[in-house]
Copies of this chain bind each other. A is one copy, B any other.
Amino acid sequence: MAGTAQLERIAFLGLGIMGGPMAANLVSAGFQVTVWNRTRERAEALVEEHGGDTRIAHTPAQAAASAQLVITMVPDAPQVEEVLFGPDGAAEGLSMIDLAVDMSTIAPTAVRRIADRLRSERGAAFLDAPVTGSRPKAKDGTLTIMVGGEAGDFERARPAFDAMGELVVHVGPQGHGAMVKLINNTLAAVNAAAVAEALVLAQRAGVDVDSLLHVAESGSGDSAMLRLKARPMLEHDLEPLFKLAHMLKDVRHCLEEARALGVGTPVAERAAELYAQADERGLGNADFAGIIEVAEGLRPANS
């Protein structure tokens, strides 16, 4: 695309829990969106529900063929690299593409690797633009989007971001969007693990949990996780708004970055072990509130 051309045509690759409603908001905002998904049914459901100018592509390459902006929203870096650089990948022979944006959450090192490859092989620019806020915010177009990359590229993609997000922040150079996201999610993961431990203790102590939540939400124990996850934890309502396996992945990426930088994060490491236990128990596809089921089985270290 020409650097100053108005953004009209977007390829959206990956229509999962988050990607589906995000693409729908681009359609609603009037963009001409071409979608691709590994399982075509999701793409068809999107077109049926949201219609508009939406087209379904058979491959990432086809989706990207006429797009000015390619957005990837898939589980992790291997999938981003597959849809960009694999057979029929979006980057294949597509000289028109000069801006690719990954909105998945991948490691900062993967961001830099993908950015380098797009630049050297295609002359294309790349932004890492992960989001926070789970499916309800994806539906409402009220996600937080944290963007790493060149300021000019950020401005070009901004109309698309504005259609999907409420708080859109250019946080720094390539990889920093990912890093901010990973740190945010690690905070969330630790806070949610603390909530799970607290709820189990409160219940065993016979404490009135409503009073506890009332007090904690009004004071120093408050957190977004307390407000969002305490009730689902108590009710064991594990319908996935954000899958536990994805949370574990994000925390692991964060801790890998920390280790690479020589930074110790023992509290987050301990929380990560609990999410790993939950994943091993088959809770990976449940909401990460499923951590409560691990907390319920914990015994004191020296007992």
Q: Could you tell me which A residues sit within 8 Å of B by CB distance?
A: 108, 132-134, 144, 146, 167, 169, 171-172, 176, 179-181, 183-188, 190-191, 193-195, 197-198, 200-202, 204-208, 211-212, 214-216, 218-226, 228, 254, 257-259, 261-271, 273-274, 295, 298-303
Contacts and interface: CB of A to CB of B under 8 A. Distances in A.
- Which has the most chain B C-beta neighbours within 10 Å: A188, A224, A259, A266? A266
* Chain A residues touching B, majority SS: helix
Contacts of A206: 172, 176
Contacts of A144: 215, 218-219
Contacts of A212: 171, 180, 183-184
Number of copies of this protein chain within its complex: 2
B204 A180 contact: no
A146 B198 contact: no
Contacts of A172: 206-208, 211
Contact of A204 (B185, B220, B263): B263
A221 B182 CA distance: 10
B218 A167 contact: yes
**Most chain B CB neighbours (cut-off 10 Å) among A134, A225, A264:** A264
